Amino acid sequence: MSRLLVEATVIARTEGPSPRSLGHTLRMARWQLHFLGPWFWIASVLLLLLGFLVSPVFKAGTSTMLIIMLPLTAILSVVYALRTLGSGVREVEASCPTSIVEMLAGLVVALVCFDGFLGLIATVGIALAHWTPFWALLAAWLSPLLLLVGISFPLVLRWGTLPAIVVGGGPWVVLASIAVLFPDLALGQFLLGVQTSLSLIMHLVVVGLGTLLLLLLFLRGSTWQRLLVQA
C-alpha cells in the first residue's frame, strides 16, 4: 500500500493530470481483488455449496438451489467486498484519474465474472447429470444475478450494507420462497427456469437490463459519483 501511494504521488507530480482510461480502472480492480484475500473466495464457494447441501431439506432440486443461491451469493459478495475496503484503498483511488465509482464497478464486474464462472461450471454439471436444458438454466440464474447486483451496487455506496441487502436480496428471497412453495404458479415456473419461448425472452431482457446498469456504472461512474459516494 505504501509503495502504491508513493508511486501515485510521483506520477501525479511528474506527469500531471492524465485522462480517464479503462486501463486505469482495470488495474485498480486487479489491486482490489488482491486486498480481498483468499478467504473471501473460499467463503463464496462454500456459501454456494451450502445451498446444494440444504436442498433436500427444502425438497428442492439442485437446479432450483442454483437459481436461488447464486444471485444471493453474488449480492453478499459485492456488499461485503465494497464495505471492507479500507481507507488506504480509497486514498490510492483518489490519486488516480478514474473515479472511485468506476473503479469499484471494475471490482464488481470481476466478482460477477467469478460468480458467473462458478455458475457456469455448476450449470454444465447439472445439465449433464439431469438432462436439464442448458440455456434455460443459465438464463434463469444469470438474469437475477446481473439485475440484483446492478441494483445493490449503488445502494451499498449510497446508503450502506443493510439497505443494499434488504432491497437487493429481500425481494429475491420472497419470490424464490414463493416459487419453491408453489411451483405450479406462473411465477414459480418463470423463476425456476421452465423452458418456454416467453420466459427465455423475458430472462434475456432482464440480463440486458442488469448488464446495462453495470456498464453505466463501470464506464460512466464519474457522472454518478457525487450522488452515490458520500464525502
Q: Where are the domains of the chain?
A: 2-228
Judge residue 122's burial from the number of C-beta atoms within 10 Å of its C-beta, 0-12 exposed, 13-18 middle, 19 or more buried.
buried
pLDDT for the residue 151: 92
The 10 Å CB-count burial string (b at 16+, else e) for 54-74 is: ebeeeebbbbbbbbbbbbbbb
**Spatial distance between the Cα atoms of 16 and 8, rounded to a whole number of angstroms:** 11
Tens of pLDDT along the chain (231 residues) come to 566 555 555 555 454 444 455 666 666 667 777 777 788 888 888 888 887 787 777 666 788 888 889 999 999 988 888 876 544 555 555 555 567 787 788 889 889 999 999 999 999 998 888 787 888 889 889 999 999 999 999 888 888 888 889 988 888 988 888 887 877 777 766 777 666 777 888 888 999 999 999 988 888 777 777 777 655
Residue 20: its pLDDT value, please?
54
pTM of the model: 0.81
Q: What is the structure's pLDDT at 36?
A: 79
Cα→Cα distances 198→46, 136, 141, 156, 206, Å: 34, 11, 16, 33, 12
Predicted pLDDT of residue 38: 83
Q: Which pLDDT belongs to residue 182?
A: 79
Contacts of 142 (CB under 8 A, 6+ apart): 116, 119, 203, 207
